[in-house]
Structure 1
Amino acid sequence: MDRTVLRDDMVDGLEYEAKGCVRSDAVSLAMRTVPRHEFVDDEASAYADRTLERFGTRVLSPSTAARLLEALSPEPGDLVLVVGVGVGYTAAVAAEIAGQETVQGVDIARRLVYEARDNLDRAGYGGVLVDRRDGTDGLPEYAPYDRILLEAAAVDPPRALVRQLAPGGRLVMPLGATEQSLVAVDDSGRVTDRFGPVAFAPMLVEGEQADAVERNRTVREDREFARRTTHGRRGWEQDWIDWDAH
């Protein structure tokens, strides 16, 4: 089947009342234009509303990407930063709306940076700049941004990203740990809108990415595991019990 027809069918389904993920003409037209098959391995599934995997990262389903972009609400000429750019699809849709020369993306995984660059170039959005950065630092060289999209969860809006918002700018991100909500944050760091529950992987910092030589799990993962293990011990598992005294 013609890919244009497949894209139209995909967006028609996302606009349907049962999903209602696509509400604006801008997002609808952009998603009908961007060739999603250039960003995934399995072309047969490119226009199905499902999550895929690529290089250890989640390729967002079209409905999730639509929710993010509708919440972000970019406009033509907006300077947009996508943090956790992954394979580059959401950056391409943002570029279709705002203009590819005004969209930048960063990712902590070097392999994904190369992948996103290649995908964007093949899809016709080679003007989008993608750099390898720790997402918590953003991309201050190009700030201030009218729109920032964070495609990873954090318990608080990252301060550096908030500081890189232009006056009246908007940061969209999954907020929370176990229970997450998609929110919009203004340039003061205040949550202004909530768009319902989501489930995203936590934001990684330097050393935690999958392609690191040795993943630095000490601070957040190993410490938490040790705490849970200690408090979870019972009876003979407690190494501090002096059995000889009983």
Structure 2
Amino acid sequence: MNFKIPGGSGMTSARTRTRLVERLRSAGIANEDVLAVIGEVPRHIFVDEALAHRAYDDVSLPIGHNQTISQPYIVARMTELVLGGPGRARMLEIGTGCGYQTTVLAQFYKTVHSIERIGGLARGARERLVELGVHNVRLRHGDGSRGQPEAAPFDAIMITAAAPIVPEQLVDQLAIGGRLVFPVGVEEQELRMIERLDDGYAETRLEKVRFVPLLPGVA
């Protein structure tokens, strides 16, 4: 990781980032590689300048278009879960948003395919990825609810919006041993993980979460 980080010294100081990493470690994030990446990715460039002073708090923040950037704990938690899959060649992210989670994932996978349904967010995320020198993301403006079967199978799939039901069409796009991590539910949401096995699937129910809903179509 060698990011060119814009912004003032207060937002980019090692002390500010170390505090966030220690907070996440105390909250149960155990993967030290994930913690190291969280400590390096400049979260403040993914939010509005007026909110940049809160970028390294462990909170979600608005990014426009009625969407949010997930809190760092959730980004780290979902990342360490998908990394338990069979390889690091190709992964699929449904819901690019501002590109923060995308940038974290790009440090671990050879290629990240990311789909964002909102054109304004897709354009902004693409600009930030270029600014940071992240070149292994294939970002597409489109409907991600059906995945990207033409690029499957994926070693991992992550959905960053809450699906009302388990998305079976995405499960089918996993490689053997691959993991799908996603929030499911409407009013009550739960983080789940599905692993594709040689002879079927295994589903693990995790913690309660709160995400914006997964919507079809483009905007």
Band the TM-score falls in, shorter-chain normalisation: 0.7 to 0.9
**Counterpart position of 2:131:** 122
**Counterpart position of 1:60:** 70
Q: Secondary structure at the match of 1:149?
A: strand
Task: Check the 8 A contact 1:74/1:94 in 2, yes or no.
Answer: no
Relative to total residues, which structure has the larger helix share, 1 or 2? 1
Task: Check the 8 A contact 1:184/1:194 in 2, yes or no.
Answer: yes
Q: Secondary structure at the match of 2:76?
A: helix
Which amino acid counterpart does residue 192 of structure 1 have in structure 2?
Answer: E
- For residues 86-135 of structure 1, the C-alpha deviation after alignment (integer angstroms, 9 at most, x for no partner) is 01111111111224xx1121011111111111112222313311101211
Which amino acid counterpart does residue 10 of structure 1 have in structure 2?
Answer: L
Which residues of 2 match residues 177-216 of structure 1 at below 5 A?
177-187=186-196, 190-206=201-217, 212=219
Task: Check the 8 A contact 1:117/1:126 in 2, yes or no.
Answer: no
Which amino acid counterpart does residue 186 of structure 1 have in structure 2?
Answer: E
Pick the aligned partner of 1:3 from 3, 9, 13. Answer: 13
Note the aligned Cα RMSD (angstroms): 1.9
**Counterpart position of 1:91:** 102
- For residues 46-98 of structure 1, the C-alpha deviation after alignment (integer angstroms, 9 at most, x for no partner) is 11112111122111111121222122226773311110110111111111122
Inter-partner Cα distance in structure 2 for 1:114 and 1:74: 31
Which residues of 2 match residues 1-246 of structure 1 at below 5 A?
1=10, 2-16=12-26, 19-20=27-28, 22-41=29-48, 42-56=51-65, 57-73=67-83, 77-99=88-110, 102-187=111-196, 190-206=201-217, 212=219
Q: Secondary structure at the match of 1:53?
A: strand
Cα distance, 1:191–1:77 mapped onto 2, change above 3 Å: closer
TM-score, L = length of structure 1:
0.76
Q: Secondary structure at the match of 1:171?
A: strand
Which amino acid counterpart does residue 25 of structure 2 have in structure 1?
Answer: E
State, as a whole percentage, how many aligned pairs show the same letter.
Answer: 34
| Structure 2 unaligned regions, length at least 5 | 1-9
Inter-partner Cα distance in structure 1 for 2:203 and 2:16: 36
Task: Check the 8 A contact 1:38/1:122 in 2, yes or no.
Answer: no
In the TM superposition, residue 156 of structure 1 has moved relative to its aligned partner by: 2.1
Which structure exhibits the higher relative contact order, with contacts defined as CA atoms closer than 8 Å and separated by 6 or more residues? 2
**Counterpart position of 1:236:** none
Inter-partner Cα distance in structure 1 for 2:97 and 2:84: 19
Q: Secondary structure at the match of 2:156?
A: strand
Relative to total residues, which structure has the larger strand share, 1 or 2? 2
Task: Check the 8 A contact 1:172/1:185 in 2, yes or no.
Answer: yes
| Structure 1 unaligned regions, length at least 5 | 213-246
Q: Secondary structure at the match of 2:56?
A: coil
